[in-house]
């Protein structure tokens, strides 16, 4: 029988003797608080008959376009089919079309999505698609080029890199990463600085490094060296600074407490809604057995019962995340609200600092 097995989540709050505070969230697995606050959506409902028929039609047309070597058209049609009904076969042909279009990085990731998918399906077409994807990915891997983009000059730390009109994530600047063979144009721009556009041609399996040197743009204000700043106003006296710092600290903590209360309320609401949804899914699945033990069902009812169980598990997971986020929000709001009313005895050392550890996240502070 299906059952609603709740995971455990512990929220601990403690105030230390020396005027420090800390609260810790311990989750069943190493899940960060930021993931809990995202409140992921439930899986999409099963495809309708109209969507299944449309996906089949798009895939059939895509197969015809692929055989006629109309690669872009085939890619578009299989992408449409996949958006309606998920199938490893759709993804396999998407990857093949991407290879023909020279988009090897996207093709490799699409192949991997087929081979790494956890599926219990024993349909011959699905098994063949996974087998073909694994073979073709191994063949494709050596063809990928390897590109490293580096920045040099003033303002490099804040500069933005564009490759073929697409922004390169800052985390990938200076990192060797897979790239499509062929010609690419790169340029970096920043606050008052820019590099010349550079065009490079990557060969299959080749390795290249491009260094973009930033120079001041005409008429732009000079870029200040890192770690320097121009004073905007005369410094305040020590007494005025302490008073202002205390007031701002209190106001900031009070505002943060309201935000935390809001997050807590939202989390508890989401947890309740999805707990009810999970219970409903499990009940519907159990009802199909009509009290039979062991439960004997037709293939269609067995598949439906399995899907109801999966939907229930997903709703249960989101419910747990919602309750954890709600508890954290309420706890944080309460703590910050209390601290906002206290006077700062050590302004220079007061503050709140977030931290993340293995399987837990939290805040450290001193008041």
The reported pLDDT for the residue numbered 287 is 77
Q: Decide if pLDDT at 94 tops 90.
A: yes
Q: Decide which of 20 and 247 is more confident.
A: 247
Name the token pair of 275. Answer: 């707990």
Name the token pair of 191. Answer: 């606050």
Looking at domain 49-142, which of 3.30.420.10, 1.25.40.10, 3.40.50.300, 3.40.50.720 is its CATH number? 1.25.40.10
Domain residue spans of the chain: 10-39+241-366, 49-142, 145-216
232 Cβ contact list (under 8 Å, min separation 6)? none
Confidence of residue 7 (pLDDT cuts 50, 70, 90): very low
User: What does the angle CA 56 – CA 62 – CA 64 come to, to the nearest 5 degrees?
Assistant: 110
The reported pLDDT for the residue numbered 21 is 40
The reported pLDDT for the residue numbered 122 is 85
Task: Specify the 3-state DSSP secondary structure of 215.
Answer: strand
Q: What is the pLDDT of residues 259-294, one digit of tens each?
A: 877 887 888 888 898 888 888 887 887 777 776 666
Q: Which whole number is the average pLDDT over 123-143?
A: 94
Order the strands of the 351-357 sheet from edge to edge.
10-15, 20-26, 360-366, 351-357
Strand partners, 169: none
Residue among 272, 316, 361, 254 at smallest CA distance from 23: 361
What are the percentages of helix, strand and coil residues in the chain, rounded to 5?
A: 50, 20, 30
Ramachandran angles phi, psi of 179, nearest 5°: -145, 160
- Please state whether the predicted TM-score (pTM) of the whole model is above 0.75: no
Do 49-142 and 145-216 have matching folds?
Answer: no
Q: Decide if pLDDT at 45 tops 90.
A: no
88-102, 126-140, 219-233: the lowest-pLDDT one: 219-233
The reported pLDDT for the residue numbered 130 is 93
Q: Which whole number is the average pLDDT over 307-331?
A: 84
Q: Which whole number is the average pLDDT over 43-66?
A: 88
The reported pLDDT for the residue numbered 96 is 96
Name the superfamily (CATH) of residues 145-216: Carboxypeptidase-like, regulatory domain (2.60.40.1120)
Q: How far apart are CA 321 and CA 86, in angstroms?
A: 27
């Amino acid at each position: 029988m299906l059952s609603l097995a709740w995971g455990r989540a512990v929220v601990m709050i403690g105030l230390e003797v020396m005027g420090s505070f800390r609260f810790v969230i311990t989750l069943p697995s190493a899940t960060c608080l930021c993931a809990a606050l995202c409140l992921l959506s439930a899986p999409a409902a099963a495809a309708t008959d109209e969507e299944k028929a449309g996906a089949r039609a798009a895939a059939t047309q895509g197969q015809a376009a692929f055989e006629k070597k109309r690669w872009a058209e085939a890619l578009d049609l299989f992408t449409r089919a996949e958006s309606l009904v998920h199938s490893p076969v759709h993804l396999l042909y998407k990857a093949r079309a991407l290879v023909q279009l020279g988009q090897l990085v996207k093709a490799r990731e699409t192949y991997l999505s087929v081979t790494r998918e956890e599926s219990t399906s024993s349909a011959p077409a699905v098994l063949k698609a996974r087998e073909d994807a694994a073979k073709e990915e191994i063949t494709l891997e050596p063809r990928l080029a390897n590109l490293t983009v580096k920045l040099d000059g003033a303002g490099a730390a804040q500069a933005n890199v564009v490759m073929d009109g697409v922004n390169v994530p800052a985390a990938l600047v200076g990192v060797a990463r897979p790239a499509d063979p062929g010609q690419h144009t790169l340029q970096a721009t920043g606050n008052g600085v820019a590099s010349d556009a550079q065009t490079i041609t990557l060969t299959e399996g080749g390795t290249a490094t491009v260094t973009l040197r930033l120079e001041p743009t005409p008429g732009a204000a000079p870029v200040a060296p890192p770690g320097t700043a121009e004073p905007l106003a005369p410094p305040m006296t020590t007494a005025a600074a302490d008073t202002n710092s205390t007031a701002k600290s209190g106001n900031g903590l009070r505002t943060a407490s309201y935000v935390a209360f809001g997050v807590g309320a939202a989390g508890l609401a989401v947890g309740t809604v999805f707990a009810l949804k999970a219970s409903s899914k499990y009940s519907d699945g159990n009802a199909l057995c009509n009290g039979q033990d062991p439960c004997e069902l037709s293939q269609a009812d067995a598949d439906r019962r399995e899907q109801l169980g999966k939907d229930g598990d997903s709703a249960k997971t989101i419910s747990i995340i919602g309750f954890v986020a709600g508890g954290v929000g309420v706890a944080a709001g309460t703590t910050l609200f209390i601290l906002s009313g206290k006077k700062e005895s050590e302004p220079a050392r007061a503050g709140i600092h977030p931290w993340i550890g293995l399987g837990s996240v939290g805040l450290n502070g001193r008041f």
